[in-house]
Every structure is written in C-alpha cells, then in structure tokens.
Amino acid sequence: MTDKKQKKPMSASDYIKHMPHLQGKPLTTQNQYSALAEFPPLSYSKAVISQSGQSSNTNQPPFQKASYHLKSYNQHLNTTHYTKEITLKELYSYTNHLFYGDALNPTDNVTKNRTFYEYILVDSKSIEVTHYPDPKNPNHISYSTCKILRVASMQQLGILNLHTSKNFSQPGFVLPGYTYVDYMQAFFRVLYLRPYDHSWFLSFDQRFNKHVPGWFNEWWHWFGPIDQIYPPEIIKTSYPFYTKHLPNTNPIGPLNKIYFHTDMGIPWICSWHFNLVLALPNMPYSLVKEFRVKWWDKYNIERCSLTNIKKLFDANKQDHLLIKSVSRSIPLLTPSQIANIPPYHPPTQIKQEPPSPAKNKKPSSPTHSSSSSQKSKSKKSKLQAMKETLKALSQEMMNISSDDDSVHGQEPAENPEDLFGGPLSQDPFVL
C-alpha cells in the first residue's frame, strides 16, 4: 500500500478562497447572491435631475463583475489553545462551543442575542431590515438588507446616561428595554447573523442625520467600504470633487465618506467570517473576525457625475439661504435679555373671612394695634426676602441653562455658516 500524502488542513481563508460565490464570481450552480443583482435601484434625490433621451452606458468600458476585497485588519476576539492550523470543521466546532447560536459575540447574557439587538434598532426607528430566505430552503436566509435611518444620541432617545434603561415602545420581548450601551452594541452585533455564506446589503437613508456620534466611526471601520472597491471614476474624480465643495470639510474620521454615501445613495455589500491567525507575538493562534466588502454592480454610476453633484450642492445652498432668511426675520432673545426679565409671581389671593357680629367684636387696644402693625411689617419683610431669593434663583438657573447650551453645542457657532455647531455636536457622551 502506498502512503497517502497528508493534506494541509483547510483554514477559513482557504474556504473563502476556494468558494467562487464568496468572491463575487459566477457559479455553475445557483448563486446565493444572484438575488442581490435584482435589488431595485435606489431612488434619486430631489436635487438630481435625470437626463432623458441619452443612455449613460454608451462610452463605458465592458462590464466587470465586482469581487470581494478582504480588509487588511481583523477584529481580535480571544487567544486560543491552538498552536497549529486547524481544519474548517474543527473551527466550526470551536466557535459553536464558544458562542451561543444567535449571539456570535462574547457575552455574559445569552438573552441579549442578535434578535434583541435587531429589535432595539427597529424599535428606535434606526434601521429598516429585511431578511430574504432561500427559495429552496425557507429556513435558510440567503441575504439581508439594512438601511440605516439614523444613529441617535442619548438625548434623542430620551436616555439620561449610559446606565439608564429605556422601555421598548412595543412590549412583548423577553427584556422590557435597553440601555444606550445596548444601542451602541446593536449596530455592531446585529450584523453577526451567520459567518462565511451570508451577505448584507447596506445603505444610508437620504434623510439620514449626518451629525453622527463619535463611536459610529468605529462601525464604519469594520463594516464600511474601502477604497479598493470603488470604480476609478468615483475615487479619482467624483469623491474629490464632492469633498472640495463641502461647506465644512472634516478630514478626521470617515465622516466625509458617510456624507458622500448618503447624498449619492451609494450602497455596498459586506460579509464576515471567523478565522485563526497568529495575531500576538509568542502566543498561540487567535480567533478573529475578518470582514469583506464589495461594490454593488447595479448602482447607476451616472448618479455620481460632476453635474449631479453640483446640482446637489446648489440645491443645498438654496435651502440654506432660505433657512437663513427665515431665521433672520424671527427675533430671538439673547441669554442676557432673558436674564433681565423679572421673574413672574402669581398674585396671592387673600382669604377674606366673613365679618363677625358686632356683639362678638372686641374693643381694640393699643397693644392689639401695635402687634398688628408688627405682624404686617414681618409679612412684608418675608415677602421681600422671598422675592429676592426667587430672583437670585432665576438668575442662577439662567446661567446654568446658558452653560448647558454651550456644552451641547446649541450656541451659535463662530462660523455663521455652521448652523449645527460642528459635525460631532450630538456626541452621546456629552451629558
């Protein structure tokens, strides 16, 4: 008998590498991702006027199907006991023992599973999510779509601090509510549906509030697109032209990319999987999450033309001027003017007693008259002291209100063009 050659165990990276449908390549059999190509195009914004009569595909190069790009960085989960590579089956077994079925992330509360986090975002009107089952297997989700409507701050959710619990608007879940920490984690953990063979179709709503909290930058780091997936005309022409015309360009963080995707209605596709890598020096293998993104082939590239981008900024400028003219026509009181307004005191109603009969009326005496005048003076002095106390309290409250407005970014910005006080004025950690 001849000795069989020992095959190298297939890792998660090898699995992705040898699966054509996970690289965006066509399959000879049914492709799980073919339904994404039939997803209806996003509607144009009001500022974009479509050109009629001419096709935008007359001078375009031949169509090339987009492929996944693996991000060069991964998310470290924990250090394992493995000192050598393992097979994909062994990796499945390890992760199944490590994580709860619907909670593919480290947790100390299995009740807070992926469904819990999805319910948070749907209940708070932060996302619209749809799961599409496989036609051949209704119990198997082929792919999912997620449109981000908003990323709310604590103030917008009515939460006082990170430890305050907010009840669900529609009761019925096992847990009655959630904290803001749960809300932040929900944006990350809701996408951990199934590794390897599941994809997310992600996009921003056109009414998305661009003043996002700072922690959302990390979400973009893991799940957002990278430069390698963009067509050359977007990354070399459209995006630089867009950032050049932004009224307040902020090079720190991915905010400009988020604005660009929102205004241009650009979606992208994201997927993730587990893997074992040598992440730490002189340590065993680490369990990590790796993320892959790709371009959506059905996106209308004409939407990012320089003409349409210019129309968008012209429309935004007109709206800005209209808001400015309306705000100037409405007089507003400054904090100093409000502080000079005397405090309002409701009139006190003096209880009138019915006159006593004459026979019961006692004759007045000098002693009784002097005591009445002393009581009257004492009441006046107390009333005056109360007025002074209320006035001082009112002034103190106005000062506190003025300080709070400056903390929350509600004072007029130094730049009159900045109506919102900066891109991170709604940071949730500012109480």
Domain assignment of residue 233, yes or no: yes
Q: How far apart are CA 382 and CA 376, in angstroms?
A: 10
CA distance 411 to 393: 23
Q: Looking at the structure, tell me whether residues 268 and 338 fall in a common domain.
A: no
Here the tokens at position 118 are 């999805």
Residue 376 lies in a domain: no
Range(s) of the domain holding residue 184: 12-39+64-300
CA–CA distance from 144 to each of 132, 235, 289, 366 (Å)? 6, 27, 19, 93
> Does 127 share its domain with 274?
yes
- Nearest by Cα to 276 from 17, 69, 19, 84: 84
Count of the separate structural domains present in the chain: 2
Output the six-digit token pair for 262. 């929102």
Each residue's pLDDT tens digit in the chain (431 positions)?
Answer: 444 444 455 455 554 455 444 444 433 323 333 333 333 333 323 322 233 333 333 343 334 578 899 999 999 999 999 999 999 899 989 998 898 778 888 888 888 999 999 999 999 999 999 999 888 887 788 899 999 999 999 999 999 888 889 999 887 788 899 999 999 999 999 999 888 889 999 999 989 987 889 999 999 999 999 999 999 999 999 999 998 888 766 667 788 999 999 999 999 999 999 999 998 999 999 999 999 999 999 999 999 999 999 998 888 766 555 555 555 556 666 666 666 666 656 565 555 555 555 444 444 444 444 555 565 666 667 777 777 776 776 666 555 544 444 434 444 444 444 333 334 334 433 43
Q: Within this chain, do residues 186 and 294 fall inside the same structural domain, yes or no?
A: yes
Longest dimension (CA), the chain: 136
In a domain, 360, yes or no: no
Indicate if 156 and 240 belong to the same structural domain: yes
Whether residue 101 lies inside any domain: the answer is yes
Q: From CA 408, how far away is CA 427, in angstroms rounded? A: 9
Residues 260, 191 share a domain: yes
The answer to whether residue 358 sits within a structural domain is: no
Q: Which residues contact 49 (CB under 8 A, 6 or more apart)?
A: 308, 311
- 96 and 212 co-located in one domain: yes
Question: Is residue 161 located within the same domain as residue 206?
Answer: yes
Q: What is the pTM of this model?
A: 0.62
The per-residue b/e assignment along 259-298, b for 16 or more CB within 10 angstroms, e otherwise, is: bbbbbbbbbbbbbbbbbbbeeeeeeebbbbbbbbbbbbee
- CB-based contacts of 373, cutoff 8 Å, min separation 6: none
Residue 109 domain-assigned (yes or no): yes
Q: Which two tokens stand for residue 99?
A: 């994580």
Q: Per-residue DSSP letters for 327-357?
A: HHHS----HHHHHTSPPP-PPPPPPPPPPPP
Residues 193, 126: one domain?
Answer: yes
Which of 247, 281, 300 is the last residue before a domain boundary? Answer: 300
| Same domain, yes or no: 216 and 117 | yes
Check whether residue 290 and residue 401 sit in a common domain: no
Any domain includes 5: no
Does residue 278 lie in a domain region? yes
- In a 3-state reduction of DSSP, which class is residue 38? helix
Same domain, 86 and 211: yes
